[in-house]
Amino acid sequence: MSNKVKIERICEHCGKSFLAQTCKTRFCSHACNSRHYKEMIRNGRYNVITKEVKEEKKQRIKLSVDEVEFIQSKEFISLKQMGIYLGICRKSVYTYLRKYSIPFSRMSGRIIVERKEIDKIMNKLIQSIEAKQENPVKALEHLTDFYSVKEIEEKYRIQYTRIYVIVKENDIPFVTIAGHKYYSVKHIDKYFLKMGYTEAEEITEWYTIEDIQKTFQMTVKAVHSFTSRHKIPKMKEKTGNTTLYSKKHVDEIKNVQIGEDGYITIPEACSMFNVDRDTIYNRCQSYNIPKINKGKFVIISVEGLRKVFGTGNVSINNVNEAL
């Protein structure tokens, strides 16, 4: 005769309630029974492994303590023992030998070090660190005036990438306001004065890109390359988006005029005689055309070029009729 009594129980695996026929039923289904059994086995293995790892760590700590005590009892130790003694890797052992000039000896192909020498060097390092900590820190001076990066660029005509290198190498004090860094006026001026920099003079005359193109017969790409290479001071017009370049600085670099001394630059020679740079250099070398190194530039005799190429485009510059 079967038992018709239904007992409400809660599954030990999934936590759901179910109707059981006996008081000993623990799971609502065979699937929950299997999952619980596998989980129990898995947890048992995990506990065993965790226990083994803890025991292994304890054993290693005990062995390391015993090994350090053993090393302390020896007068000479190997490099491996030195690494254990100082708690460093093998690569750092060689670095310490070289950096702190630790004396060592070779014995049958092995390097051995006197343990007392290591103790002396470590004690000196500890004393130097303690001395630095005991020295009082100098009170920081109160700074009120600061430059922005843009102001430093404009004042000393220097690229912003170089500014970051300078402030890092010379520990220039700075403050951060709204995500932007501002550097001490006093320290910046002192550094640039020491390095022989002068403040940028006020620029009143400017070239547009079109002006440079017309005056010096250059393409837009050549203008950009020229102004970037020679770090020509520039500014944006307040109205519009036109870039202006310092007329004085452009003229100083482009100051080689044919009518003055009878010499022209390589780009001017290329434009005048409608040839490329390689041809100019080749003819100068083949016909010994006089040339002069003037700063970063090579200037070539117009008379010598005309003997080889002919008259050329005389309208490119104001050429004297005498030439």
Average pLDDT by stretches of 10, the chain with 323 residues: 73 87 87 89 85 83 78 86 85 86 85 87 82 58 79 76 83 84 87 67 78 82 83 68 79 59 79 85 87 75 84 48 39
Inter-axis angle of helices 90-99 and 79-86, nearest 10: 90
Q: Provide the residue type at 107 as one letter.
A: M
Q: Provide the residue type at 159 as one letter.
A: Q
- For the chain, state the CA radius of gyration: 41
Residue 180: strand pairing partners: 177
Residue 70 region, left (φ>0) first, then alpha (ψ -120 to 50), else beta?
A: alpha
Q: What is the per-residue pLDDT for 135?
A: 60
pLDDT digits (tens, 9 = 90+) for 41-88: 888 888 888 888 888 888 877 777 778 788 888 888 888 888 888 888
For residue 308, the Cα-to-chain-centroid distance in whole angstroms is: 51
Q: What is the DSSP letter of 11?
A: -
- Calpha distance 7→271 (Å, rounded): 106
Q: Provide the residue type at 38 as one letter.
A: K
Q: What is the per-residue pLDDT for 316?
A: 42
The answer to whether 167 and 182 have CB atoms below 8 angstroms apart is no
pTM reported for the whole predicted model? 0.30
pLDDT digits (tens, 9 = 90+) for 84-95: 888 888 888 888
Q: What is the per-residue pLDDT for 318?
A: 43
The answer to whether 183 and 142 have CB atoms below 8 angstroms apart is no
- Calpha distance 62→74 (Å, rounded): 19
Q: What is the per-residue pLDDT for 292?
A: 81
For residue 252, the Cα-to-chain-centroid distance in whole angstroms is: 35
Please calculate the CA angle 170-230-234 and round it to the nearest 5 degrees: 85
36: tokens are: 């619980």
Q: What is the DSSP letter of 314?
A: G
How many residues does the structure list for the chain? 323
Q: What is the DSSP letter of 206?
A: E
pLDDT digits (tens, 9 = 90+) for 285-305: 888 888 887 766 778 888 888
